[in-house]
Structure 1
Amino acid sequence: MRRVEMARAASVEQVLKTKFKMLPFDGEWLAALGCPELTGSWIVWGNSGNGKTRFALQLCKYLCNFGRVAYNSLEEGVSASLMKALQETNMMEARRKFIVLDKEPIGELVKRLKQQKSPNIICIDSLQYTGMNYEEYKQLKEQFPNKLFIYISHADGKNPEGRVAKKVRFDSNIKIFVQGYRAEPVSRYGGGEPYIIWKDGYEKFSLENI
């Protein structure tokens, strides 16, 4: 008869004494996301033309304060539109901590992440272009428990597009819907305040959608 392994139990006291690596966010990022851990998954979704990529890059730039960040542009690759987005976000300011991966397949990304001094934070644009099913998504997260994965997703209305993306949303510690240059976060770490990505774009969208 196969032995059933029991999950390791912990007392309340042990749990309360556990030290977690929390990121000391401040300002508008603290208000939006709280103080998150450098682990697990986040998801950002929205329709095209609403500021999703700009928000992802702003977030990556801020996260460069806490570790090395890789932006895997699976969907566009290194393109004129990505170059424009990098310029608009002044990503040169974070050039020592930030790299762009040009349509790097997940298998190659795994090899990269196994190396010493590999990025701590990986932003994947987009989830739909990874070709992963939900089990493969979980395996990737479990293989690198000390890294943070941020997935950018297409949207279907106000929800992530596709079955896998919907499951990833439920599993993610931070979920961010982007519409009209405004990010609406739901975070397990506090925060919850909307984040304005681009004031002019947000105000124009608001006027057109009264």
Structure 2
Amino acid sequence: MEEIKLKQALTYDNIKNTKRHYIPFTGEFQEVFSTPQDKGVWLIWGASGSGKSSFVMQLVAEFARTYKVIYNSLEEEPDDDDFFLRMERCGIDSVRGNFHAVKDNYDELVQRLKKKQSAKVVVIDSATYFFKGRNAFQDYLTLVRKLFPKKIFIITAHARGNNPEDQLEFDIMHDANMKVRTDAYGAYNKGRKYGIKNPYVIWEERYEELQGYQN
């Protein structure tokens, strides 16, 4: 058996002295999500009509204040009217220099992200449209852990009850750093880092109406 070259094990001081960088969230994003590290995976799942698409675009606008964002829209065409109106409502105009939308398959997105000065934040809408076949979860791990471990991935998923809909989405949820479930125009932080309030209110008027209805 060929000898395997092992990486050096990290000491306590190695880990302690590692320089870490954090997402400079402001306002309600900071109140709900605190300051997560600027890498890793966000999984956002919710049923149709829950406010998921609006929340993702609001999150994109917040990220684009600081980082370049590429929005890989597979569930709808980027030039669709709904997509454009959502951009307008969520203030993408004010961060337009840091925002681009594409419709890439797996190989195309990998090639795009390998370019110099590629986007720091990558939106994949959605998991089931992008990761396909028997090796879907392994492709996910290769993308986010092996090829681009320093990037931030925002991946959307469908919902069945309170959980992601299928096995791939469920597996991604368990691996993700930040987990957000949208329901009745609230975005509920279920991740590894919390702020001082929960949920994030996506659309206040509709959120209050639906909370009143549910109560």
Question: For residues 142 and 119 of structure 2, what CA distance do their matches in structure 1 show?
Answer: 18
Query: Tell me, which stretches of 5 or more residues in structure 1 are unaligned?
Result: none
Question: 1:139 aligns to what?
Answer: 142
Tell me, in whole angstroms, the C-alpha distance in 2 between the residues paired with 1:109 and 1:70.
10
- Residues 1:121 and 2:113 aligned together: no
Match of 1:98 in 2: 99
CA contact (8 A) 2:131 2:140 kept: no
Q: Distance in 2 between matches of 1:105 and 1:84?
A: 25
Contact map agreement 2:42 2:153 (CA 8 A) in 1: yes
* Aligned-residue identity in percent: 32
2:210 is the alignment partner of 1:209? no
Aligned partners of 2:8 and 2:187: how far apart in 1? 38
| TM superposition shift of 1:31 | 1.7
Secondary structure in 1 matching 2:140: helix
Three-state SS of the structure 2 residue aligned to 1:95 is helix
- Residue of structure 2 in register with 1:167 after alignment: 171
Cα distance change on mapping 1:131 and 1:11 into 2, 3 Å: closer
SS at match of 1:96: helix
In 1: Cα distance, 2:18 partner to 2:97 partner: 32
Task: Kindly state the Cα deviation for residue 6 of structure 1 after the two structures are TM-superposed.
Answer: 4.3
Report the 3-state secondary structure (helix = DSSP H, G, I; strand = E; otherwise coil) of the residue aligned with 2:207: helix
Using structure 1 for the length normalisation, give the TM-score.
0.94
Partner of 1:196 in structure 2?
A: 201
Q: CA deviation at 1:187?
A: 2.8
> Could you list the per-position Cα deviations for residues 55-92 of structure 1 after superposition, in whole angstroms to 9, with x for gaps in the alignment?
00000000012210011111112212112211221211
Provide the aligned length of Structure 1 versus Structure 2.
209
The one-letter code matched in structure 1 to 2:148 is F
**CA displacement, residues 21-74 of structure 1 (integer Å, 9 cap, x when unaligned):** 112223211121121122111100000111100000000000012210011111
Say if 1:34 and 1:187, in contact at 8 Å, map to a contact too.
Answer: no
Cα pair 2:180 2:190 within 8 Å, conserved: yes
Distance 1:184 1:8 in 2: 39
> CA shift at 1:189, angstroms?
3.1
CA–CA separation in structure 2 for the residues paired with 1:194 and 1:117: 34
The 8 Å contact of residues 178 and 192 in structure 2, kept in 1 or not, is answered as: yes
Cα root mean square deviation, aligned: 1.5
Q: Partners in 2 of 1:14 and 1:31 — Cα distance? A: 31
Partner of 1:26: 26
Gaps in structure 2 of 5+ consecutive residues:
none
